[in-house]
Amino acid sequence: MGPIEPFLLSFVTFFPLLAGVGLLLIAALASWIGTKGLPDSLWKSVGLASTLATFGVSVRLFVEFDATRTGFQFVEHLSWIPEYGVNYFVGIDGISLLMVMLTTFLVPIVFIASWDDIRESIPTFVFFMLFLETGMLGAFVSLNVFQFYLFFEVMLIPMYFIIGIWGGPRRIYAAVKFFLFTMFGSLFMLVAVLVTYLLHFEQFGALQFDLVSTTGESKALLDTVIPLSGQIVDGEPVVWWKTQTWLFAAFGLAFAIKVPMFPFHTWLPDAHVEAPTAGSVVLAGVLLKMGTYGFVRFAIPLFPVAALEFTPIILALSVVGILYGSLVAMVQTDIKRLVAYSSVAHLGFVMLGMFALNEQGLNGSVLQMVNHGVSTGALFLLVGMLYERRHTRLISDFGGIAKPMPVYAAFFGLVTLSSIGLPMLNGFVGEFLILMGGFLAHPPSAAVATFGVVLAAVYMLWMYRRVMFGPVTNPENRSLIDLGLREKLVMVAMAVPILWLGIYPNTFLLRIQPSVIELLHQVEVRTALTTLPSTEDVALLAAADTAADPAADPNREPQP
Amino acid sequence: MVPIEHVIALSAALFTIGVGGVLIRRNLIVILMSIELMLNAANVALIGFNRMWPGIEGAPRMDGQVFVLMVITVAACEVAVGLGILISMFRNRDSVNIDEVNLLKW
Amino acid sequence: MVNGATEESVLRLIPLLPLAAAAYHGVMLGLVRRPTPRTVTIAISCGAVLASFVASCVAFWSLIQHPNGSHLLVDNVFSWIGSGVGVHAFSADVAFLLDPLSSVMTLVITGVGSLIHIYSVAYMDDDQRDDKGFQRFFCYLNLFTFSMLILVLADNLVLMFLGWEGVGLCSFLLIGFWYSDEWNAYCGSKAFIVNRIGDFGFLLGLFLLFSSLVDVGKPAVEFQDIERNLALITEATLAVPEWLGGGEWLLVNVIALCFFVGAVGKSAQLPLYVWLPDAMAGPTPVSALIHAATMVTAGVYLVCRMGFLFAVAPFASMVVAWTGALTAVFAAVIAIAQTDIKKVLAYSTVSQLGYMFLAAGCGGYTAAVFHVASHAFFKALLFLGAGSVILALHHEQNLENMGGLWRRTPRTHVVFLIGVLTIAGFPGLSGFFSKDEILVAAFASEIPGHTWLYGIGLATSGLTAFYMFRLHFLTFYGESRASADIREHIDEPGKLIIYPLYVLAFFAIFFGYAGLPQVWGDLVFGVDNSNSLANFLMPTLAVVPHNQLDHTTEVWLAAAAITAGVVGFGFAWFFYMMRPQLPERIAAALRIPHQLLVRKFYVDEAYDLLFVRPLVAISDRVLFRVIDVAVIDGLAVGGIARLVRATGTNLLRHAQSGFAQTYIFFMIAGAVAIVWILLR
Amino acid sequence: MTAVILGVVVGAFAPVITWIERKQSAVMQDRIGANRADIGGITILGLLHPLADVIKLLSKEDVVPTGANRVLHLIAPVIAAVPAIIAYGVIPFGSTYVFGGETISLVVANPDWGFLYIFVIGSIATYGTVIAGWASNNNWSLLGSLRASAQMISYEVTMGLSVVGCFLVYETLKLTDMAMAQDTTFRVFGFVEVLFGGELPWWVSQFAVLPQWGIFLQPLGFLMFLTCIMAENKRPPFDLPESESELVAGYFTEYSGMRFGLFFMSEFIEVVVIAGLITTVFLGGWAVPFLSQEWIVDRVGNGFGAFAGFGDGFANGFCMLVHFATFLVKVVAVIWLQMALRWTLPRFRYDQVMDLCWKVMLPLSLVNIFVTAALVLLLGE
Amino acid sequence: MEISAVLFYVFAGLAVISALAMVLNVRNTVAAAMSLVVTMVSIGGIFVLLDAYLVAALQIMVYGGAIVVLFLFVVMLLNLRTDDFPPVGLRLAKLGGGLLVVVVVSAIPRLLGGVFPEIPAAPTGYGGYRALGIALYTDYVLLVEMVSLLLLAAIVGALILAKRKID
C-alpha cells in the first residue's frame, strides 16, 4: 500500500478502470497469440477481485477520514489543462465519502449477484461495470467542475450499454430514453457551468474550473459572486434575466432529471424495468445519487440565493413526488416498476430534506441517499433473483413464494421493511431526520410528506403480501429453489449496512455532520456575498478590478 | 506584374466555376474534378497573397506556399479516397450518377 | 459507543434478552439449513422472556429501593441518532427509563408475556407445522416482546417510536403467521397499514413537538426534558390555514391530537379500530399477548406517558375521552352479534380500550393504567381460555358450533368463567375495581359532557356483561352444537395450557387489590392509602383537576355499575339460557339492524369503498395511466419527441434529401450569405 | 541558339537510335541486323533504314478508328512527343565557359529547379499514352493505357524519391550544379577519417580515389533511378502497356503513319533524355574523370596554350569540346546500356511490375534517403 | 505591358476557359479531364509568374501528373460511356449555380478595384525549394507530420475502399 499512499483517492477511483483496461489488453494479447481470449470466469473473478480491492481501499479511506475536520480530505490537485483552469482535482468530504463507500460497496455486490445472471458477452459486461464504477467514483470525488461534468457524462456510456445489451425486451428504448433524458438536462448544466466559469473569469481574471481553491490565495468557483439579476447589455439591465436563478435552474434541471424528481421521472421505470439486475442496482443505488449529490455539491453552494428562491418549488415537487411515486407504485403490476416508482418517492424524501437546508434535513438527506442505495439496491437484487428463477416480474404470476423460498422471503421482508422505514433499519433514520428537518423548515410540506410513510407501507406491503403470502396458486412457483449460498452471501452483505445504518447511524452521521455544517456555512456566506452589493456595485467592483488588472477586461477573449 | 486584385479575381472566377460544376454536374467524377478546381482557386489566391507579402531580403516568407502544399496534399488524399468511394459505388450500383445516390439521408 | 455498565444496566437486559433470542432464531432460520430442535427453541425463547421478567423484577425492586427517591432509573446505552449542533441539535439515544409507569408496564409485559410464551409452547406444538415454523413463531414472539419493552422503556419519543413500529411489525408478522392463507396475510398487512396511519400521527406530533421546542431553544425528545420545557410552549398557537376555517389553535392541542392519532391507530379506537378484529386471524396466543394484553394498550400508555401534555391540552383530552367512550359502546354493540369467539373477545378488547381512553381523557391516568394492567390479566385469561376451547374443538371458532363444553373441559370452563366475571365487573374482582375507577374518573372529570361520558361508560358496562355472558353461555352451556366427529374428541388441553390460565386467573381475581380504590379501602377493608398502585404511579402521572367525590357518591356509582352488570347478565341469561331460540327470532324480526350488527355496521366495507378503492382507482386510472403514461410520458416527453420527429419528417427531411448537391447548395448559399453580410 | 542546335541534334538522334537498337539487338542475337535499305547500293551499315522508315511513315494514311474521339485521338501523339523533346531543355551538355567577356553555357535553360522540371515533364508525359489508348475506342488500347497510366504514376513516385539522395548529396536541384559538383574526386575511404578520426596511410588517400560521381555516391539511387526511368519510358522489360503478345501494340494499336511514328519517336527521344539525365546526375555529366575543368583550362591554357601561344579562349574552347565529347560518350554508353537491358531481360508480369515498385523500390528508396541523410549529417559534407 | 503580365493574362484566360470547358463539357468526361489538366498547367504557369517555382512544379506534378491521371484512370477503368450525364435536373442546384455566378460576377469588378498596393519585389530565394523547405521543416513541421498522417490514412482508406474484397 505504500506507494499509493498519496494517491489513495485516485487509486480508488481509477483502479477499476485500470483493471478493466488491463484485462482488455491481456485478452487482446491472448487472442493475438492465438488463444480464444480469456475465459469468462477469469474476467468475472478479476472484475470481482478488483472491485473488492477498491472496496478495501475505500474502507481505508473511511477509517482514515478525519471526521473532526471540515473541508476536503485526501485532496489531490494536478494540473491538467492549466490554461483553462481544468485540473485533475479530487478530494472528499463526508458527503462524498459516503457516496464513494456506497459505490465501492455496491459494485462488488452486483458482481456477485450477477455472477450467473449475465450469460453473454461477459468480458464486455465486466469491462463496462468497471468502467461504470470509475465513472461514478470519479464524479463523486471530482472537485473540478469540468472534471465532474466529464465523469457525469462518461457514466452514461457504460450504463447505456449495460441496459442496451443485457436488458429486457424493450432495452433499446429504455436505454435511449435514459440517455436522452440525462443528456438533455446535462447540456443545460454544461451551459450553466460555462457561464459560471466566465463570470469567475470576469471577476478574477483567471480561468478556473476548480470548485474550491487549494490554497488560500487562489480563487475558485465558489469565490465567484453570481449576480442575482441584471446582466447589463448595452447599458440596460435586462429585466427577465436573473443570472443566478437561471443558472440554478439549469443545474437543477440536470440534477432533477437524474434524481429523478417528479415530472422528470418517467425514464426511471423504463430504465429499471429493462435493465439487467446489475444495471438496476447500480442505477438505483448510485446513479440516481448523482443528481442529489450534484445538488448538494454544486447547485446549492454555488447558487444559494436561487436555491432558496426555488425551495418552494422543489419542496412542492418533492412532496408531490413522494405521494405520487407511492400511489403510482401501489398500482404497478411489475415488481421492478414498483420498486422504480418507490425510488421516485424515496428520492422525493431526499430532496425534501436537502431543501430544508438545515442540519437535520441535510444530514438525513445524505444518509437517505445511502439508505436508498442500499435498500433499493437490495430490492432490485431480490427481484433479480426471483426473475432469474421465473423469468417474470409480474406480481400476479406470484403468490405464496414464502412457502418454497422462506429465506428469500425473510430477506425480502427485511429489505421491504427497510424501504418502508422501519426503525432500527436504515430507512428510518434518514427519513426521520429528513422529516424533522422538513418540519423545522416548512412544516406543511413535511407533514404531507410524512403521509408518504404510510403510503410506503401500503405499496410495499401490498406487493409483499401478493408475492410472498397466500397459497401457492401458480404451480410453477411450487418448485422454486430457495437462495443459494452465493445469493445468501449477497443478501447478508446487504443486510449488514441495512442494520448498521439503522442501529448505529452515528458512524456515518458523524462524518456527514461537519460537511453539512460547512455547506450551510457556505450557503450563508455566499448568500451574504451575493445579496449585499447591488448589481451596480458588482459592476463597479468589477470595473475597479478591471482598472487594477487589465486581464479582467470582460470583453477580452478568454485566453491563457 | 499584374495587380494582386487580378489574381484574386482569377481565383474567384475559378472557384465559382468549380462551385458551379459541383452544383450542376451529375457525373461524380466531374464533381470531384470541380472540387479540385475549387481547391486550386484557393491555391491561386494563397500564392497571390503570399507574393503580396513575400518577406524581406534574406528571410522570405513562405506561409502561403506552405499552405498551398498542404492543400495539394489534402487534395491528393481527397482524390484518392473519393475515387475509391466512387469505384466501390460504381461496383455496387453501376453508376456514378450523383442523382442516384441519396443514401446520405440515412 | 456503548456506555459502561452501572447499576441501571439491568434495564438494558430487559429488552435485549428477548432481542438476543429473536436474533438467534433469525440467524438460525435464515442462514442455517437444518431446523433447530423444538426444545432448543423453547428453551431459548421462554428462557429469554423469563429472564427478562426476572430482570424486570430486579429493576422494579431497585426502583422501589431507590435511595434518592426520584422514582426513576435511566440507563443510557448509546447515542443512536445525533444530528446538528446548537439550537437545532437533535439527539436520540438508546436510553431506557424505568419509572413507576414503565415498571408496571414492564412487569405486565414480561409477566403475561412469559405465561403466554409457555402457553404457546403447547398451543403451537399442536399446530401441525414444521420446526422452522415453530421457531419462526417464537422468533416473532421474542421480537415482539423486545419491541414492546422498548416501547415502554424508551426514555425518548424516537426510541419509543422504534418500539411502536416494532410491535406493529410483529403484529403484522404474527397475524400473518399462517401466511399461506390469503386472509391471514391480508389481515396482517391491514393491521400494519392501519397502524401506520396512526404512526403518521405519532410522527407528526413528534415533529411538531420538537420543532416547537426548537423554536423556544430547547430541542429535546426525552420525556423528562419535554415535560420540563413544556411550560414554554403551552401558550404557543398554531395559525390555521384559511381552508380549515382560519383562526388559531393551541399548539399543545394539535400536538396532543397528533399523538392521539397514533394512539388511536395502535389501540384500535374509532375510526381506526378495524384492524383489531381482523387481527384475530393470528394464532390465539398472539391474540392474547399482542391484541389484548400488551400492544394494543400502547396507545393508552402513550397518552399516559404524555399525560403532562394532555393535561395542558383540554380540547385534546376531551377528544380522547369522547373517542374512548364512543369506541367503547360502539365495539360493545358490535360484539353482541358476533359469532366468532375470538371476534367477540376482540371487540370486547376494543371496547375495553375505549374505557381506558375514556379514563385517560378524563384525567384518570391512574385508572387507565390500572385498567390496562387488570385488562391485561383478564383479557389474556379470556383469550387463552378461548384458545383452550378452540384447541379442544380442533380449531373451531364459531359459537354456533359450540355449547355444552363445561362438562368436557371443566377447568377451562372455570377459569373462563372467572375471566367473564372479571370483565363483567363482578364485585371484588379486579375488573370491578378498575372499571369502577374509570367510571368514577369520568363522573368526576370537568370536561364538558362528562355525565354523558359516564352514562355511556355505564351502558357499555351493561353491554359488556351481556355479551360476555352470552359468549360464556353459548360456549359452555346448553347442548353441544358441534358436529358429531368433533364431539367425540373434545378434550381438556394439557397442563402447559391450563397452568398459565390458573396464574392469570389468580391475577384477574386479586390484582384489583393492588389498586383498591380508596372508597373500598375505607369502607370495606379499613386500609389507609389502599390504592397503592395509584400512589406508586402518582409521581409520574400528570394530575388533572377534577371534582372531588365523596364516598357516598362513589358507592352509588359502584352500585350503578353493578346494576348495569346484573342487567346485562340477566338479559344474557334470559336470551341464551332460558329462551335460546329467542335471539334467532329477534334477529329474524329485526333483520336490518341485526345484519348491521353482524356485518359490524359495514365499516370495513365503507372504508373499502371510501378510501381503498378510490385510492387504488385514482392511482391506477388517473395518476398512472393518465398523468404518468399519457401526460408526462406521452404528452410531454413523447410530445417533444414527436415534435422533433414531426419537424424532421415534415420540414427538415426535405433539406436532408440525400442528394449531395442539395447539401452543397445550402452550404454555398450559406457561404454566400455570410460573405454578403460581411461585405455589406 | 543552343535551343536550335539542340532541336536539330535531338531530331536527328531519334532515328539514329532506332538504328542503334536494331543493330545492337542483331549483335546480341548474333545476326547481321538491318542492312537492306540502300540508296544506289549504298547501305551505310543500314543507316538508311531510319530514313526509309520516316518516309514510309510519312506517306501512310492517318486513320482515325470508328467511334474514336477524333480530337483526342489526333492530339495524343503530340502530347506524348512534346514533353520528351522539351525535357532536353535542362540537360547540360557542358559546363560554363568564358570566352573573353562572354559566357557560354551549354544548356538551354538552367533554372534553379531544374530537376523539378524533369519531374513535371515526366508527369505530363503520361497523358499522351493515356489519351491515346482511351481515344482509340479499342479495348487493347484502353487496357494498354490503363496499364501505362498506373505504371507511370507508380514509378514516378519512386523515381522522385530515388534521386532525393542525390539532391541531399549535391544540395541542389540545378542540373548544371549537379554536374559541376561531380567534376572532382573523392577519397573512397575518407569517411573513415571523419568517423573514426586518425589518418589513413598515404597510399590509401592517394590512390583510393574516385571521381565524385553520383553512381559512386548513390549506387542504390542509380540503380533505382535507372529502373524507374526505364519503367517510365515503358521500354522493355517494362513494356507492358504495349506488349505485343498481349495487347497487339497497347495504347497505340490504332495509330498509323506519322502519329504512330511520333509515339515511336518519343520513346527513342526519351531514351536519349534518360541517358542524358543519368549521365548528368550519376555519371558526372560532361566531366572528364579525374580531370576537373579548372585543371584542363589551367593546363591547356597555361601549359599547352601558353606554349602554343593560344589564349584562354582556346583553353575554354578546347575544354568545351572535350566536355561535350565526354558527355556524348557517356550518353552513348547509357543508351547502350538501355539497349542491352532491353535485349537481355524478359518482360515482367504486371503484378511483378507493381510489386517491384511499391514493395521493393519504394521502401528501398526511403531507406536510401534516410541512410544518405544520416551520412550527410555525419560526414558533414 | 510587360511580358509577365501578358503571360499572366494568357494563362489566366486559358485557365478560365479550360475550367469552363471542363464544367460545361457534358459529353466527354475525358475531355473534361483534359481541360482540367490545361487549367492545372495554366495555374502552374501563374504560380511560376508569381515566383512560386516549387509550388508550380508540384502543382503540375501532383495535379497534372497524378490527380488528373487518376481521374482518367478511373474513367477508363469504369469505362464510362460519356453521354450519360446531362446536367442535373435539380432546379434548386441550377438556380443556386446561376445565383452564385451572378453574385461572383457582380463581385469581380469590385475585386478589380485596386485597393491593394503594388506587388513588391520578391527577395532572393523566394519560392525556391530551399526557402520552402526551411519553412516546412521548421515552422510548419507539425503540419507536415499531420498531413503525412493524413496521407497515410488516405492511402489505407483508398485501398480498403477500392479493394473488391477485404482479405
Query: C111-150 pLDDT, tens per residue?
Result: 888 888 888 888 877 655 567 778 888 888 888 899 888 8
E1-82 in CATH: which number?
Answer: 1.20.120.1200
pLDDT reading at C285 higher than 70: yes
Contact flag A468-C179 (C-beta cutoff 8 Å): yes
Residues of E in contact with C668 (CB under 8 A): 96, 100
Average pLDDT, chain A: 84
Residues of E in contact with C659 (CB under 8 A): 90
Q: Is A359 on the interface with C (CB under 8 A)?
A: yes
Q: Which residues pair with residue C98 across a beta bridge? A: C73
Q: Which of residues 102-141 of E touch C (CB under 8 A)?
A: 103, 107
How many pairs of residues across C and E have Cβ atoms under 8 Å apart? 20
pLDDT reading at B26 higher than 80: no
Contact flag C81-A447 (C-beta cutoff 8 Å): no
Q: Please state the rounded mean pLDDT for residues E136-157.
A: 88
Is position D30 within any domain? no
Which residue of C657, C672, C674 to mutate against E (max E Cβ within 10 Å)?
Answer: C672
User: Which amino acid is present at D260?
Assistant: F
Pairwise pLDDT comparison (B99 vs A293), residue with the higher score? A293
Is position D49 within any domain? no
Report d(CA D54, CA D71) in Å as an integer.
Answer: 24
Which chain E residue is nearest to residue C657, measuring alpha carbons? E90
Query: D134-179 pLDDT, tens per residue?
Result: 777 777 888 888 888 888 888 888 888 888 888 888 878 888 777 7
- Nearest CA distance, E112 vs chain C (angstrom): 15
- Contact (CB, 8 A) for A132 and A399: no
Pairwise pLDDT comparison (D32 vs C16), residue with the higher score? C16
Query: D323-333 pLDDT, tens per residue?
Result: 878 888 888 88
Q: Between vectors from CA D203 to CA D200 and to CA D207, what angle results, nearest 5°?
A: 110
Which chain E residue is nearest to residue D155, measuring alpha carbons? E66
Of C656, C658, C665, the CB nearest to B23: C665
Contact flag E88-C668 (C-beta cutoff 8 Å): no
pLDDT category of residue C535 using cuts at 50, 70 and 90: confident
- Contact (CB, 8 A) for A168 and A186: no
Name the packing angle between helices A145-154 and A122-141 (round to 10°).
160
Position A105 scores a pLDDT of 92
Q: Between vectors from CA E115 to CA E109 and to CA E120, what angle results, nearest 5°?
A: 120
Position A3 scores a pLDDT of 63
Q: Please state the rounded mean pLDDT for residues C495-513.
A: 84
Instruction: Quote the cell numbers at residue D168.
Output: 541531399
- Contact (CB, 8 A) for D319 and D296: yes
Q: Please state the rounded mean pLDDT for residues A231-250.
A: 71
Q: What does each C-alpha distance from E64 to D113, D119, D120 come to in angstroms? A: 18, 11, 8
Total domains in the fold of chain D: 1
Which range has the worst mean pLDDT, A334-343, C660-669, E63-72?
C660-669
Asked whether B and C share 3 or more beta-carbon pairs under 8 angstroms, the answer is yes
Is position D331 within any domain? yes
Q: What is the DSSP string of D159-175?
A: HHHHHHHHHHHHT---H
pLDDT reading at A557 higher than 50: no
Report d(CA D215, CA D333) in Å as an integer.
Answer: 14
Chains with ≥3 Cβ pairs under 8 A against D?
A: E
Position A471 scores a pLDDT of 84
Q: Please state the rounded mean pLDDT for residues C4-21.
A: 80
Q: What is the DSSP string of E8-64?
A: HHHHHHHHHHHHHHHHH--S-HHHHHHHHHHHHHHHHHHHHHTT-HHHHHHIIIIII
Q: Between vectors from CA C41 to CA C39 and to CA C44, what angle results, nearest 5°?
A: 105
Position A550 scores a pLDDT of 45
Of C203, C241, C637, the CB nearest to A435: C203
pLDDT reading at C330 higher than 50: yes
CB proximity list for C617: less than 8 A, separation 6 or greater: none
pLDDT reading at C493 higher than 50: yes
pLDDT reading at A549 higher than 50: no
Report d(CA A421, CA B27) in Å as an integer.
Answer: 73
Position D306 scores a pLDDT of 61
Position A555 scores a pLDDT of 46
The closest alpha carbon to C598, from C344, C268, C278, belongs to C344
pLDDT reading at D88 higher than 70: yes
Position D251 scores a pLDDT of 77
Q: What percent of chain D has pLDDT over 90?
A: 0
Average pLDDT, chain B: 83
For residue D215, the enclosing domain spans 60-379
Chains with ≥3 Cβ pairs under 8 A against C?
A: A, B, E
Q: Which of residues 34-63 of B touch E (CB under 8 A)?
A: 34, 36-37, 40, 43-44, 47-48, 50-52, 54-63
Position A134 scores a pLDDT of 92
pLDDT category of residue A560 using cuts at 50, 70 and 90: very low
Position A52 scores a pLDDT of 92
Position C246 scores a pLDDT of 67
Report d(CA E7, CA E48) in Å as an integer.
Answer: 10
Eight-state DSSP code of residue C73: E
Length of chain C equals 680
Domains of chain E by residue range: 1-82, 129-167
Instruction: Quote the cell numbers at residue A73.
Output: 480530505
Q: Which residues pair with residue C154 across a beta bridge? A: C96
- Contact (CB, 8 A) for C121 and C66: no
Which residue of E61, E77, E155 to mutate against D (max D Cβ within 10 Å)?
Answer: E61
Residues of D in contact with E29 (CB under 8 A): none
Is position B35 within any domain? yes
Of B19, B23, B105, the CB nearest to C658: B105
Q: Which of A428-442, C116-130, C434-448 has the highest mean pLDDT?
A: A428-442
Asked whether C and E share 3 or more beta-carbon pairs under 8 angstroms, the answer is yes
Query: D192-209 pLDDT, tens per residue?
Result: 676 676 777 777 777 777
Report d(CA C588, CA C546) in Å as an integer.
Answer: 47
Query: C632-678 pLDDT, tens per residue?
Result: 888 888 888 888 888 888 777 776 777 777 777 778 778 878 877 88
Is position D12 within any domain? no
Of E31, E60, E128, the CB nearest to D123: E60
Instruction: Quote the cell numbers at residue C357.
Output: 381512553
Average pLDDT, chain C: 82
Q: Which of residues 196-255 of A touch C (CB under 8 A)?
A: none
Count CB atoms within 10 A of the CB of residue C20: 17
Which range has the worst mean pLDDT, C66-75, C336-345, D276-285?
C66-75
Q: Which of residues 254-313 of A touch C (CB under 8 A)?
A: 263, 265-266
Q: What percent of chain A has pLDDT over 90?
A: 11
Largest CA distance in chain B: 57
CATH of the domain at B40: 1.10.287.3510
Position E83 scores a pLDDT of 54
Eight-state DSSP code of residue C92: E
- Contact (CB, 8 A) for A374 and A501: yes
D→E contacts (Cβ < 8 Å), by residue, are 69, 71-72, 111-113, 116-117, 119-120, 122-124, 126-127, 130-131, 133-135, 142, 145-146, 149-150, 152-153, 156, 173
For residue B79, the enclosing domain spans 4-96
How does A269-279 read in b/e, with b if 16+ C-beta sit within 10 Å?
bbbbbbbbbbb
Q: Between vectors from CA E154 to CA E148 and to CA E155, what angle results, nearest 5°?
A: 90
Which residue of B28, B29, B63 to mutate against E (max E Cβ within 10 Å)?
Answer: B29
Is position B84 within any domain? yes
- Nearest CA distance, E18 vs chain B (angstrom): 10
Pairwise pLDDT comparison (E5 vs C483), residue with the higher score? E5
The closest alpha carbon to D45, from D34, D60, D53, belongs to D34
Query: E11-36 pLDDT, tens per residue?
Result: 888 888 888 888 887 777 878 888 88
Helix H or strand E segment including C77: strand C73-83
Peptide bond between residue D237 and the one before it cis (omega within 30 degrees of 0): yes
Contact flag A360-C189 (C-beta cutoff 8 Å): no
Total domains in the fold of chain B: 1
Query: A99-155 pLDDT, tens per residue?
Result: 999 999 999 998 888 888 778 888 888 889 999 999 999 999 998 888 899 999 888
Instruction: Quote the cell numbers at residue D196.
Output: 573514426
Instruction: Quote the cell numbers at residue B56.
Output: 524581406
pLDDT category of residue A237 using cuts at 50, 70 and 90: low
pLDDT category of residue A554 using cuts at 50, 70 and 90: very low
The closest alpha carbon to A67, from A510, A456, A424, belongs to A510
pLDDT reading at E87 higher than 60: no
Contact flag C660-B103 (C-beta cutoff 8 Å): no
Q: Which residues pair with residue B60 across a beta bridge? A: B55
Residues of C in contact with E88 (CB under 8 A): 661
Which chain C residue is nearest to residue E102, measuring alpha carbons? C672
Cα within 13 Å of Cα(C408), Cβ side: 25
Position D126 scores a pLDDT of 79
Position A4 scores a pLDDT of 66
Which chain E residue is nearest to residue C676, measuring alpha carbons? E103
pLDDT reading at A263 higher than 60: yes
Which residue of B7, B49, B51, B62 to mutate against E (max E Cβ within 10 Å)?
Answer: B62
Q: What is the DSSP string of C453-472?
A: HHHHHHHHHHHHHHHHHHHH
Peptide bond between residue E87 and the one before it cis (omega within 30 degrees of 0): no
Residues of C in contact with B82 (CB under 8 A): none
Instruction: Quote the cell numbers at residue D185.
Output: 574526386
What does pTM read for this prediction? 0.73
How many pairs of residues across B and E have Cβ atoms under 8 Å apart? 263
How many pairs of residues across D and E have Cβ atoms under 8 Å apart? 82
